[in-house]
Each structure stands twice: as structure tokens, then as C-alpha cells.
Amino acid sequence: MSPSSLPQAKILPATTAASSNVSLERQLVRNLAQRSDRPALLWLASWLTALAVSGYLLYLTTATSSTLLFLAAALLLGSILTVPSYAISHECAHGTAFRTRWLNETCLWIGSLLYFEEPYHRRYSHTRHHTYTWHVGKDSQMPFDTPMTLKGWLLEISGIALVIYETKVFARNALGKFSPQTRGFTPENTLGKLKWGARACILIYATLIILLVRGETWVWTYLLLPRLLGGPVMLLFTLLQHVELKENSPSILESTRSFTTSAIGRWLYMNMNNHIEHHLYPQVPFYALDKLRQAVENQVPPPDKGFWRTNLEVLSVVVRRSLGMGTKARGLRQAAHMVVSAAEAKKGKTSPFAHKTTL
């Protein structure tokens, strides 16, 4: 669907800290935005160590007859594989993970390949996502229908929606048949990068499939199966970023959610649970987001409480919406138009806003 055919195709102010009425001293922002290789290299070393340990645990289960143990180990490896692959590709798309450019670009490719998105498309579409956060027809990363129903939740969390959408993007870009939306957020002189990047990714994925068909079972055991099992865990993290919040708002505070999570969750997700803060000042690297959160905490909504609790709240809302029941959540931050009372639901009232994705 062309952006010009959608309701928010007019020129809009960018979604920034200023448009959200949030401000910090310029020098403080500069200090927080200083880049260094060391924190990201330490994180990278910890990720590779965790992959090695969880991979070895999976290897040990292959010697047992317990399918349950094998699947549990594959899920562990998959979670450690997929959540950080999303996080590192995201951070490197911003160019903030490392100070050294080639380290950023290398990790952008590795993370994007594991996440299943061509790296340059990842970078430019994500830039547009920040420029027009959660604006219909402008934000190129509105991945699901709003208001979300149980069907939409299942398509999103299973990864089916992601695979369908990205497969179409790979095919179009590899052929050089860029969509109007892609042309809209990609500099004209870099469209060639998208084409050759898509072709390179397809070649790598095809090679893995050929290896699997030829009997290289390690591809399934240590890569594809863990990626499939860990995918929903990764998507549970990303779902929380904007679901149930306000579309077409100039304020990031209304369209974006931060949430609390455990130390493991923060490590896996590279502190992106501080998502409002990240959108306000995207030039601040992941290792400074906690300090940024403290600096703006009096100007932003409090984070939703807990990764699992927040996801259960979302699931409860989408189930009730699908059953025609009231959609008010107990603790989840929601846009006002997302909330329909039980009495209104009985009368058939729904949210006045509807956005349908085009996969």
C-alpha cells in the first residue's frame, strides 16, 4: 500500500523529545551519547559465551532419549540467540553500539540475518519508524493490526506475520521492485544497497537450506529449531513497545511504552525495555539508557510493571476484545480509545480507530 493512499500521508512534524515536550540539558545529552567500543564488546563476549554454554547444553541433551529436555535446551538456546540478535541489529542500525564503524556494520549484518531482515532495509525503515513513530501510513514498522485482536496477537507472536512480510520485502528488493514505502524512506543513491543486500541474504538462507537437505543436521539442531522456538520470546519483547497505545500522536509518551524486567531480560534486550527513553534520544547507546531513564523520569510515564505481567495484561485485553467484552486493563497503560467498557462492548461499540497491516 502506498503511503499516499493512507490517512497520514501529509507532511508531519517528526516525533522527537521536543514534540513530546521533554527536554534535557544539551551537554547532558552529549555526555550520555558518547560512544565507546568497550561496553558493547563486553556485552558481545557475554552473548557469545552464553550461546556456547547453551549450545553445549543442547548438545548434551542429544545423547538422551528425553524429547522434553531436548526441546527445553533448544528453547534456552533459541531465546539467547533471538532476543539479542534483534537487539544488536537494532542498536547497530542506529550506529550506537560501537564507536568503531566496521564493528557496527559487522554486527548489524549478523544480527539482521538471525532476526530475518536485510540490514540496510532494517536501518532505513527503522529511521522512518523513529521519525514518525506509530503514525499510520508513515511509520514503516507498524507490524500488526490496531486495536489488536487475538488473531493478530497469534500472527505476531508466532512470527508468521514477520516471515510473510519480510519474505515479500526480500523478494521485491532483490528484484529491484521497491515498494513506494521503501522508496519513501530510503535515500535514492542507496537503493542499490537494498537490492544487493537482499540478494546476499537470500543466498545465505538458500545455502543453509541446501546444507540441511544434504543431511547437515546441525543446521536444524543448533540454528533453525532454536530460532523457531526462540522467536516468540523475542516477539514478546518487541510487542510491548507500542501495543495498546495512541496512533498518530506527535508525543512519544503517548505512543511508546517502557517496562521493567529482570537483569537477564535487560541483558538479552540490551536495555531496550527503556523504550520511551530510547525514542526520545535515539543517539544514546544502550549502555547509557539507565542513566537516561533516571534523567527524564520526572517527565515521562512510569514503566509498566514486569515483562511477563505486562504481556499477560496484553493477552487478557486482546482475548476480551475478540470476545466482545470490555477491554480495560488493570495495570497496562492504554490509549483512551483502546478502552471499551463492558457495557459499551455489549452494545457493540469498538475503538473508533482501526489500522490494518498489509502483509
Confidence of residue 148 (pLDDT cuts 50, 70, 90): very high
**pLDDT of res. 2:** 34
* Percent of the chain at pLDDT exceeding 90: 88
Indicate whether 349 belongs to any domain: no
* Percent of the chain at pLDDT exceeding 70: 95
The pLDDT tens digits of the residues spanning 11-61 come to: 678 999 999 999 999 999 999 999 999 999 999 999 999 999 999 999 999
Indicate whether 329 belongs to any domain: no
pTM: 0.94
DSSP-assigned states of every residue in 133-147: TT-TTT-TT--S-BS
Per-residue pLDDT for 304 more than 90?
Answer: yes
352 Cβ contact partners less than 8 Å away, ≥ 6 residues apart: 337
Q: Which helix (H) or strand (E) holds 291?
A: helix 289-296
Dist CA 296 CA 291 (whole Å): 9
- In whole numbers, what is the pLDDT of the chain averaged over residues? 93
Indicate whether 91 belongs to any domain: yes
**pLDDT of res. 354:** 64
Indicate whether 306 belongs to any domain: no
State how far the alpha carbon of 290 is from the alpha carbons of 43, 83, 277, in Å: 15, 19, 9
Confidence of residue 5 (pLDDT cuts 50, 70, 90): very low
Indicate whether 338 belongs to any domain: no
Q: Tell me the three state secondary structure of residue 11.
A: coil
Dist CA 157 CA 231 (whole Å): 8
Domain tally, the chain: 1
The pLDDT tens digits of the residues spanning 92-119 come to: 999 999 999 999 999 999 999 999 999 9
Range of the domain at 111: 27-296
Q: Which helix (H) or strand (E) holds 174?
A: helix 160-174
Q: If you average pLDDT over residues 109-131, what whole number do you get?
A: 97
Per-residue pLDDT for 359 more than 50?
Answer: no
Residue type, 300: V
**pLDDT of res. 298:** 98
Indicate whether 264 belongs to any domain: yes
Nearest 5°: phi and psi at 161?
-60, -40
The pLDDT tens digits of the residues spanning 255-274 come to: 999 999 999 999 999 999 99
Q: Tell me the three state secondary structure of residue 355.
A: strand
Q: Hunting for cell 525503515 — which residue is that?
A: 125
- In SS3 terms, 70-121 reads as HHHHHHHHHHHHHHHHHHHHHHHHHCCCCCCHHHHHHHHHHHHHHHCCCHHH
Q: If you average pLDDT over residues 122-129, what whole number do you get?
A: 97
Indicate whether 120 belongs to any domain: yes
Indicate whether 209 belongs to any domain: yes
Q: If phi over 0 gives left and psi between -120 and 50 gives alpha, with beta otherwise, what is residue 271?
A: left
Q: If you average pLDDT over residues 49-78, what whole number do you get?
A: 96
Taking alpha carbons only, the member of 194, 187, 222 closest to residue 208 is 222
